[in-house]
Chain A
Amino acid sequence: MSAIESALIDVQTRPTLKLICNDFNIQVATVNGSGSQTANTVLMRSLFQMGIPVSGKNLFPSNIAGLPTWFTIRVSKDGYVARRENVDILIAMNPESAREDVTMLAPNSMVIYDEPLNLGSIRQDLFFYPVPFDRLVAPVCPDAKLRRLVKNMAYDGVLAQLLGIEMAEVERALRKQFKRKPKAADLNLKAAQAGYEYAAEHLAKSDPFRVQRMDATRGKIIIDGNTAAALGCMFAGVSVVSWYPITPSSSLCESLTEFLHRYRVDSQTGKATFAIVQAEDELAALGMAIGAGWAGARAMTSTSGPGISLMAEFAGLAYYAEVPVVIFDIQRVGPSTGLPTRTAQSDVLSAAFLSHGDTRHVLLFPASVEECFRLSMEAFDLAEEFQTPVFVMSDLDLGMNNWMAAPFAYPQDSLRRGKVLTEEELNQLKEFARYQDVDGDGIPYRTLPGNGHPLAAYFTRGSGHNEKAQYTERPEEYTRNMNRLARKYETARGRVPGPVVDFNPKAEVGLVAFGSSHWALVEARDRLRSRHSLETSYLRLRAFPLSDEVEKFVRAHNRVYVVEQNRDGQVHDLIRLEIDPREVVKLRSVRHYDGLPITARTIVKQVMEQEDIGEGVDR
């Protein structure tokens, strides 16, 4: 009798327990640095290859090795990919965290644990499966050092047996993972098989969880947001990249380095059509990108909160001197060093107004890996069109975790390089003033260093300047230039990606979210409708400055909840600043800020609490 068959019988004998198919949360608790990442990826891919929607989230410490780390795989037949609080299946491999991990579980959860941890007696209301992993793996892997890594693969096998994951898919996922190391693949496969066979022989299935093949992932890809953004940068034609390592942004430039070396080296000469520099700090990283942007390259840097703080002065220079540059902020938890390996959306206000004086920036908010790809390309176009820094506001959850997506579409539009005058054009124009608003849209024309026309050169500076880029302290010249910059910003308002609105004519309540909060919000809306009969409309912001659509949306509803992952309701406040003051009373705020990705439950709970209190509450 297979484990699944025995489970069916067991469930039938416990009438209160319904079979739970393709709808649960797996959490693997291991020690950081123990090599569980591969086993977890293989597990997630196996489910994905069976056509079942999955999402994986790595909750890891700021540490090289030794501290507890958790990997969560959400299996959701309905396609929900946000984090869910409840763990249904725990794989307890870490002696440090095991007891607490088990204590946190809801009744009827299932626990696979390393036998020596002896967890089975802690609670009576769980399904326990002890597995002697070391003993199990010893015959397939005599090398004790390697065994520490390989034993992780054995829990994949055990789980495959208990849940009904097809071993053929485990093998396929594993071979993909060890593409260039067939020997390692064989060894790991043996460990997985040992786990699979052990479970069949020694574990009696009694829990309600199982998987069943679906067809919901066909043709899809799995990718993390940083890799997707790196792809976007390459297809945007980036040519100068300077960066400084910082979690959680490093993997963006590391992926980009790999892609560029693979696809952007001239096949004839073997020479690079790009320059990537690991700078000495974030100040230099942005400085180099600005220098390159000024000289006409598509230039970028990537960082996280602490780096954004360091970049403040240069960001103001690029705004005021009008130099295109793209800055990725893969947000993590602040203030200060904060929680370096945890997620947040708490840099929005500081990025929007980064630097002293009247400085305002363009921000883009990708919500998905697909948008990490597409909005990265858009960022380079906008930066050159508006001759200004453009911030792509991703976060750790989006950037470092794996997400399913439809394959990315090749960009149809040509690169938009903005208003750049060539020598020939200057010959015809016969006059040029760098900061003159020729077209009335606030966007001046620029020339690039190396342009040989005698009129082309100008003096780029962060000090006060007039239309001709000459130093000035004259009040009217300073004011005229600042007003033009404001005009340029207004032009940007109409050209940045607009919000995505799902307008529900029956709804009194509107929801606003952005970035990675999107996925929990989608799930929360379904729950608000099904469990609380609350109809909602939804506006997903994709950029700052805010589109006029935002005010329209607020106007069309009685109460509007702004959902975000920070303590202070930063986007809530931005919206307050920008809409008709009479509409402001409608705004309410949903805030999540514990370092873990936001969940549907948080949103539903906070919305319902405020709905119950009634109208007129301004939080």
Chain B
Amino acid sequence: MSGRTNRIGLEFSVYRGSKTTLCAGCGHNAISERIIDAFFELGIPPHRVIKLSGIGCSSKSPAYFLGQSFAFNAVHGRMPSIATGALLANRNLLALGVSGDGDTASIGIGQFVHLLRRNVPMIYIIEDNGVYGLTKGQFSATADAGSKSKGGVTNVLSAIDSCLLAVELGATFVARSFSGDKKQLLEILKAAISHRGTVMIDIISPCVTFNDHEGSTKSYSYVKDHEEALTEVNYIPHYENIEVEYDPGTTVAVRLHDGSEVRLKKLESDYDPTSRLAALVRLHQAREKEEILTGIFFIEPRTPDFIEQLNLVDEPLAALQQEQLRPSPDVLEEIMEELR
């Protein structure tokens, strides 16, 4: 690999992080690799990226990719607020959040839903394995009803479907993938980088230590057997020839914020990935049929993101100088006069 450079002349190694301390075979490591590939291939300068996470195995992973990007490992379930604040301070940053199912769907559900509602421009990945790994195998809120723990306990509560929530609450890019599906995951990540608005990607990422056994619905073999791709994702970056033809009868093409295009080949002929309602219906059906649907379920690139809603100046707020930040003495005098 060494020596390979990307379109901005950076070597592949620049996009690597430190050595992983997660278990060998952990799905999260495969996701880290795809993140490295995506950012390398698109030639994103690492200093433009901020990596954010909460607490848990998933949230350790930002140390294992993009070593030249700033990172913020927040407290448990509260990464969305840190990301929101950082983006308000510097709108030029490209934020990549990595969370887990416990970090998002249990302790962090409050901040998660408000992130979606605001359409904060960031990529929010859930490395979803249905268990708490660092505390040794307790169920999380995304564990399916009927799924068995390693110790033989059956989960009785139904799972929170983060994709359903995200579609419902206003995310403008909602996808699910599988850490074992290299090609699909890479294409989704590249499209995510080009999107402006909240990108929510739930990535089923089996826990080889605590949730890869018979009876688990998040094991490698279970996911492989039940994965059902709803759309085939093809990403065409803005610097490549977008004019290549496609069949509008079977493929939906969506122009992204940076001029790139994502083409979603409909594997089910009547599915419209630009319709929230269609996504909600199909996700509910999948739930009833016990399918693990993957692909981009919903995409809507035109909704103003949170920064646009707030009508901020073009320059990052963090870069403003005293002249722009502190009003003149006349202003203070005017206010004092009103108070006399």
Contact = CB atoms under 8 A, between A and B. Distances in A.
B75 interface: yes
Closest 7 pairs between A and B when the two form their complex, measured CB to CB? A291-B85, A287-B81, A237-B325, A296-B318, A297-B89, A295-B89, A288-B85
A454 B72 CA distance: 17
A507 to B, nearest CB: 37
Interface in B48-100: 48, 50, 62-63, 67-75, 78, 80-90, 92-93
14 contacts: A221-B340, A239-B89, A281-B110, A284-B110, A288-B85, A289-B85, A313-B78, A410-B332, A414-B322, A449-B93, A457-B46, A457-B71, A460-B72, A462-B73
A411 B331 CA distance: 12
A240 B85 contact: yes
Interface stretch (B26-34, B253-261, B265-273, B308-316): B308-316
Nearest to B79: A287
A239 B320 contact: yes
B313 A273 contact: yes
B135 interface: no
A296 B70 CA distance: 13
B169 interface: no
Nearest to A453: B47
Interface stretch (A263-271, A571-579, A585-593): A263-271
A240 B88 contact: yes
Contacts of A414: 322
A220 interface: yes
B73 A450 contact: no
B339 A223 contact: yes
A314 B327 CA distance: 31
Given A314-B78, A408-B336, A291 B72 contact: yes
Contacts of A280: 110-111, 114
A82 interface: no
A263 B331 contact: yes
A459 B73 contact: yes
Given A219-B340, A296-B318, A462 B85 contact: no
- A272, A275, A454 — most chain B CB neighbours (10 Å): A275
Contacts of B325: 237-239, 264, 273, 298, 415
Interface string B101-138: 00000000011001000000000000000000000000
Nearest to B17: A459
Nearest to B307: A275
Interface residues of B, number: 56
Contacts of B74: 287, 317, 462
B335 interface: yes
A238 B88 CA distance: 12
Contacts of A427: none
B70 to A, nearest CB: 4
Contacts of B114: 279-280, 284
Contacts of A277: 84, 88, 310
A471 B87 CA distance: 25
Contacts of A298: 325
B332 A408 contact: yes
- A298, A447, A451 — most chain B CB neighbours (10 Å): A298
A285 to B, nearest CB: 8
A236 B326 CA distance: 6
A454 B68 contact: yes
A290 B87 CA distance: 11
Contacts of B80: 284, 287
B319 A283 contact: no
Interface in A516-548: none
A264 B323 CA distance: 11
Contacts of B72: 291, 294, 460-461
Contacts of B83: 291
Contact of A271 (B75, B86, B313): B313
B44 interface: no
- A263, A289, A447, A459 — most chain B CB neighbours (10 Å): A459
A299 B89 contact: yes
A489 interface: no
Contact of B81 (A220, A279, A410): A279
A107 interface: no
A36 to B, nearest CB: 22
Interface residues of A, number: 72
B326 A237 contact: yes
A386 interface: no
B85 A293 contact: yes
Contact of B313 (A220, A231, A272, A458): A272
A453 B68 CA distance: 9
A239 B318 contact: yes
- A221, A270, A275, A449 — most chain B CB neighbours (10 Å): A449
B324 interface: yes
B73 A290 contact: no
Contacts of A271: 311-314
B71 A284 contact: no
Contact of A449 (B70, B110, B322, B340): B70
Interface in A146-187: none
A471 B75 contact: no
- B74, B110, B314 — most chain A CB neighbours (10 Å): B74
A459 B64 CA distance: 11
A43 interface: no
A221 B335 CA distance: 10
Given A410-B333, A447-B70, 11 more contacts: A281-B110, A285-B81, A288-B81, A291-B86, A292-B85, A296-B318, A299-B85, A314-B75, A408-B336, A415-B326, A458-B70
Nearest to B327: A263
A139 interface: no
A277 B317 CA distance: 14
Interface string A460-503: 11110000000100000000000000000000000000000000
B47 A456 contact: yes
Interface string B188-231: 00000000000000000000000000000000000000000000
B322 A237 contact: yes
Nearest to A219: B340
B48 A266 contact: no
A338 interface: no
Nearest to B310: A275
B329 interface: yes
A317 B322 CA distance: 28
Contacts of B45: 452
- A223, A274, A292 — most chain B CB neighbours (10 Å): A292
Contacts of B111: 280, 283-284, 287
A272 B320 contact: no
A299 B70 CA distance: 19
Contacts of A288: 81-82, 84-85, 88
A455 to B, nearest CB: 9
A242 interface: yes
Interface in B114-172: 114
Contact of A272 (B50, B68, B312): B312
B81 A457 contact: no
A191 interface: no
Interface in A286-343: 286-299, 313-314, 317
Interface in A225-281: 231, 234-240, 242, 259, 263-264, 266, 269-275, 277, 279-281
A454 B46 CA distance: 9
Contacts of B327: 234-235, 263-264
A418 to B, nearest CB: 13
Given A459-B71, A461-B73, A290 B82 contact: yes
